[in-house]
Structure 1
């Protein structure tokens, strides 16, 4: 079973939030949100396959969005969580959306942070290339290049630094397999755009030059709510943690009218 941690609500509330991190990271990326969330919600953090030491590896599973989603739901079942809020960041948002699409009974609504939607030809092509030769190249170089493609330019330097530090948990083999997952995710996003999900809230940085434009399009086509954080890149829950936390709490209170960016 995937590595996970359950934090009971300090005030005894029974509502639960499931947190899913992004590619290369682990549940520690939620360290600035956990103290706030656990005051009023049960919180379940789940580490994706191949992320965190000793965790289940992607190479031990069928390499598919469905197989990983079922592992996530197995953890939810273990904790008797049948219906909850799901919050994901980056690649984690794909699994929130996939579970909504195919196992909707588990999801109250999704908070999609730095969401991955459909992508441009360059990123799609790089994912396809790395899925074929990703284990033949120096791993540090591959991850360095991949982080630049996802978060280009000087303005995303902090986000890239966080991304690369988290890469320690992966290896060449698992990285290559995750490129197959990204390719599936891009195809799935085209289908998800055609669905109706007004319950979802998207939170992205205005400097997220790789994903923002198409995430805005996805939010509009699915009737979700889009919130753009000024002067912030892809990993907005860390780069601007205090402002993100303010927005997160207002979103959880359904207090959208006072959120302005």
Structure 2
């Protein structure tokens, strides 16, 4: 089973589950824990091959479907029937996959630095990474990608945090995660058709030049979806601007309970 940490304040409080991105771990949310613990029971999970979930669980052909089932296994173990999910970066794909496969387990989704579509530049980066993953040290590639995705001075802390966390991975795990991205665009297109019945908030940095444009297009086409853009923030907005990220996320979760009372 994946490594997890839980903070429980009351059996009657709702659960919030945090899902980090590729190369990170649950410490990605160190600026969220203190504030969220005031309001909710929280669950932090290290995805396979990340953080303290070191034992490899991969089988040939594994995809984000199997990765999401790892998360469901933890929820089942803890007897958590339903939870709000907060994902960041590639963690948002895991959350969206859970929404497709197990919608009854999700109260709402908050997708930070959401990955919903890869443009030509991002596909080029992944192609380069897949070509070089077997002979280029993975930390070289990871540092390059981190700088391209989070290039500005305001992104230094989040960039450094992800690079430091990625050092805990190994080349073998990096290769396996990178392999999952080969067919990611068709998979993402399928996900976009399925989760609109779940309350969804996108929280994006205004400087997230690779991933913000497709999110804006999607939200404009679907009034059921909400978008919060955070100034002076890049891809990992929960680290760049944690106070604004926390405030928007907590407010959204509470709004869901107000809507339930109205209904």
What TM-score does the superposition give when structure 1 sets the normalisation length? 0.89
What secondary structure, in the 3-state scheme, does the structure 2 residue paired with 1:6 have?
Answer: strand
* CA-based RMSD: 2.1
Q: Deviations over 1:199-220 (max 9, x none)?
A: 1000000001111101222333
Deviation at 1:97, TM superposition (A): 0.6
Match of 2:76 in 1: 77
The 1:198/1:81 distance shift into structure 2, 3 A limit, reads: closer
Q: Deviations over 1:25-54 (max 9, x none)?
A: 111121221122222321111111110135
Report if the CA contact (8 A) 2:20-2:90 is conserved: yes
* Contact 1:17 1:85 (C-alpha < 8 Å) held by counterparts: yes
Matched, 1:246 2:247: yes
**1:210 corresponding residue in structure 2:** 210
Aligned match of 2:261: none
* 2:237 aligned partner: 236
What SS does structure 2 have at the residue aligned with 1:40?
A: coil
Contact 1:6 1:45 in 2 (8 A): yes
2:114–2:204: 8 Å Cα contact kept in structure 1?
A: yes
Could you tell me how far 1:21 is from its partner in structure 2? 0.9
Distance in 1, Cα, partners of 2:36 & 2:12: 11
CA distance in structure 2 between the partners assigned to 1:6 and 1:16 by the alignment: 10
Where do 4+ consecutive residues of structure 1 move more than 6 Å? none
Tell me, in whole angstroms, the C-alpha distance in 1 between the residues paired with 2:168 and 2:220.
35
SS at match of 1:169: coil
Structure 1, 60-69 or 79-88: larger mean CA deviation: 60-69
* TM-score normalised by length of structure 2: 0.88
Q: Which residue of 2 aligns with 1:174?
A: 173
Unaligned runs of 5+ in 2: 257-263
Decide whether the 8 Å contact of 2:46 with 2:52 is kept in 1. Answer: no
Is the Cα–Cα contact under 8 Å of residues 111 and 202 in structure 1 kept in the other structure? yes
Offset of 1:230 from its aligned partner? 1.0
For structure 1, the residue ranges without an aligned partner over 5 or more in a row are 256-261
Q: Within 1, Cα distance between the matches of 2:218 and 2:168?
A: 31
Equivalent pair of 1:132/1:176 in contact (CA under 8 Å): no
| Contact 2:106 2:198 (C-alpha < 8 Å) held by counterparts | no
In 2, the alpha carbon distance for the partners of 1:54 and 1:212 equals 30
**CA deviation string 1:202-252 (max 9, x = no partner):** 000000111110122233345310110011111111111122222222112
Contact 1:150 1:210 in 2 (8 A): yes
- 1:127 Cα deviation after fit: 1.5
Does structure 1 residue 185 correspond to structure 2 residue 173? no
Shift, 1:141, TM fit: 1.6
Change (3 A) 1:74 1:211: same
Deviation at 1:12, TM superposition (A): 4.4
Separation of aligned partners in 1, 2:51 and 2:5? 12
Cα 1:49–1:253 change in 2 (3 A) is same
CA positional deviation for 1:138? 2.3
Q: Which residue of 1 aligns with 2:25?
A: 26
Q: Any idea what the Cα deviations from partners look like across 1:64-121, whole Å, max 9, x if unmatched? A: 1111111110000000112111111111111111111121111111011111110111
